[in-house]
Amino acid sequence: MLDLKFIRENPDAIRQSLANRGSTVDLDAILALDAERRQALQDVERLKQERNASSKEIGLRKRAGEDTEDIQATVRAQGESIAALDQRIRVLETELEDRLLTIPNRPAAVAPIGPDASGNQVVKTVGKPRRFDFDPLPHVELAERLGLVDFGRAAKISGAGFAAYTGVGARLERALVQFMLDIHTTEHGYHEISPPFLVNRAAMTGTGQLPKMAEDMYAVPADDLFLVPTAEVPVTNLFRDEIMDRPLPVKLVAYTPCFRREAGAAGRDTRGLIRMHQFDKVELVKFVEPETSYDELEDLLGHAETILQRLELPYRVLELCTGDLSFAAARCYDIELWAPGQNDWLEVSSCSNFEDFQARRARIRYRPEGGKPQFVHTLNGSGVALARLYVAILENYQNADGSVTVPAALRPYLGGLERIESPVST
RNA sequence: GGAAGGGUGGCUGAGUGGUUUAAAGCACCGGUCUUGAAAACCGGCGAGCCGAAAGGUUCCGGGGGUUCGAAUCCCUCCCCUUCCGCCA
């Protein structure tokens, strides 16, 4: 959520940054609602001041044994005006709030201006894609031949977009989660959280998934709960409605499955593990002081990159342009892994600085030394997302005979296994 | 799911219709004293909104009601604790 005061004082700057995003918002309506609200507030507060004084006087006169019928009558009349104005203010504030919740964040000044993904800039490319002396297979072939994933039966029980990992395939999945959590907790100083996978409406609104992206969420209407689309939601909302009681930065890491309806992407990437309704992810979340948030973003990006470096996978980092930035982000780096079987790059992480956008929605504040509480800056980034990481490992580490070499860093998590080979028979 | 008891500032906790402008303590900040620290003493110390400011207003889990006036009374919902039931 943007700061209403800032909107009031800088409407043109807001119009410009929204235009850079390709978003249009009726700012004039918001400014008019705001003006009417402030006027009504001043009126009602003056009336309340009078009423409070009169009420106090009634108390004093009653105590003195005097009659108060006359003054009670005037106060009763005042009460009616107050009730009417309060009602009007409630309507105005609800309308204002509803509108503010649908305005995307302002892109950071450094974010490149562009219309859509075509405007994203490659910041760096790390590692060289391997040269194959055979035609590399797509991961679906490898996974099915090696008995790592059962797509057919998963579809039978849940539908398209779900996978059942089996045997070594399941263990590899689990190993990756463990491996990433270990690095972030022991080397990067993150505190591990294992949060709920179902969250309420307030949490989904706090991080910005609601109200705009409602159709992309799995909902449980009977209890008004939602399956988490990312650990960002439960973890960031841990401190909702709080003044944080611990020194910043607070760095948290969580593994959760992620559930997404992919409503806008029906029919895309239907084969394999690339676009799933359920996938696992290790997520990094930070709460930081505003002055440091862009340094913290670089730091966060580095932590996500570490995972790919340890796994010796080729990747590149993109800086998202204004038109491709997600709703809540001010600045964002995407990390993409090279997948030779797809002959394409796969996004496995988005590292974003939300500045105070989420903090204002979720009312997450901290107390600067000797000062008034103010909103923290929140950041998060995948560190990293499974399924696509799994794809990249299979495709990059495949051998001519259809086997897959286990990345050295992962072997301790797989009981020393060096190579995943075809089962003799199944 | 049933019953009972609770929910007050960063924390503990008083407050059952009218100077509550929410007591007090702890924590925290500043000062005195001290070579320094501690202790002691003195002072300060909740949040949001409106306002150029002075100041005003709202907030005692959420929402609604009674009243001239509600932390306090009533209704409702949520959460916590204990007991019972069910259960991995």
User: pLDDT tens digits for A158-182?
Assistant: 999 999 999 999 999 999 999 999 9
Least confident range from A198-207, A211-220, A267-276, A326-335: namely A267-276
pLDDT in tens, A102-119: 999 999 999 999 999 999
Given the residues A37, A261, A275, A360, the one annotated as active site: A275
Tell me if the bond preceding A373 is cis, omega within 30° of 0: no
pLDDT score at A388: 96
Is residue A350 part of the annotated active site? The answer reads yes
Instruction: Give the H/E segment covering residue A402.
Output: none
Q: How far apart are CA A410 and CA A172, in angstroms?
A: 9
- pLDDT (mean) for A126-137: 94
**Which amino acid is present at A400?**
A
Q: CB of A2 under 7 A from strand B? A: no
For residue A15, pLDDT beyond 90 = yes
Q: How far apart are CA A412 and CA A426, in angstroms?
A: 27
| Average pLDDT along chain A | 92
Token pair for A413:
């998590």
Give chain A residues 231-260 with Cβ within 7 A of strand B. 243, 245
Q: Is A125 helix (H, G, I), strand (E, B) or coil?
A: strand
Q: How far apart are CA A416 and CA A45, in angstroms?
A: 72
Instruction: Give the H/E segment covering residue A280.
Output: strand A278-288
Residue in the block written with tokens 């509803």: A98
Q: Are A309 and A398 in contact (CB under 8 A)?
A: no
Q: How far apart are CA A248 and CA A192, in angstroms?
A: 16
- pLDDT (mean) for A46-59: 84
Burial of A267: CB neighbours in 10 Å, binned 0-12, 13-18, 19+: exposed
For residue A371, pLDDT beyond 80 = no
Q: CB of A51 under 7 A from strand B? A: yes
Q: Supply angle C-alpha A31, A24, A114, rounded to 5.
A: 130
Confidence of residue A426 (pLDDT cuts 50, 70, 90): very low
pLDDT in tens, A347-367: 999 999 999 999 999 989 888
Given the residues A232, A352, A388, A395, the one annotated as active site: A388
- Beta-bridge mates of residue A379: A286, A353
Q: CB of A81 under 7 A from strand B? A: no
Nucleotide nearest to A53 (CA to C1'): B69
Domain A4-100 has CATH 1.20.120.1730: no
Given the residues A50, A289, A347, A421, the one annotated as active site: A347
Q: Are A393 and A404 in contact (CB under 8 A)?
A: yes
Residue A345: partners with Cβ closer than 8 Å, 6 or more residues away: A316, A336, A337, A338, A339
A148 closest CA partner among A163, A169, A162: A169
Say what percent of chain A tops pLDDT 90. 72
Burial of A286: CB neighbours in 10 Å, binned 0-12, 13-18, 19+: buried
Token pair for A138:
């797509």
Is residue A260 part of the annotated active site? The answer reads yes
pLDDT score at A424: 53
Burial of A70: CB neighbours in 10 Å, binned 0-12, 13-18, 19+: exposed
Angstrom CA distances, A304 to A125, A223, A293, stand at 14, 35, 16
Higher pLDDT, residue A123 or A243: A123
- pLDDT (mean) for A116-136: 95
Q: What is the model's pTM?
A: 0.92
Angstrom CA distances, A190 to A180, A212, A350, A413, stand at 11, 31, 18, 20
pLDDT in tens, A379-404: 999 999 999 999 999 999 999 999 99
Token pair for A368:
């600067």
Please check whether the two domains, A4-100 and A117-420, share a CATH topology: no
Domain A117-420 has CATH 3.40.50.720: no
List Cβ<8 Å contacts ≥24 apart for A32-38. Answer: A33/A92, A33/A95, A33/A96, A33/A99, A34/A4, A34/A7, A34/A8, A34/A96, A36/A92, A37/A89, A37/A92, A37/A93, A37/A96
Say what percent of chain A tops pLDDT 70. 99
Confidence of residue A425 (pLDDT cuts 50, 70, 90): very low
For residue A59, pLDDT beyond 90 = no
Q: How far apart are CA A202 and CA A176, in angstroms?
A: 32
Q: How far apart are CA A27 and CA A12, in angstroms?
A: 10
pLDDT score at A56: 79
Q: How far apart are CA A337 and CA A339, in angstroms?
A: 6
Sheet harboring A374-375: ordered strands across?
A242-243, A364-366, A374-375
- pLDDT (mean) for A416-423: 90
Higher pLDDT, residue A270 or A317: A317
Residue in the block written with tokens 């203010």: A89
User: Where do the domains of chain A lie?
Assistant: 4-100, 117-420
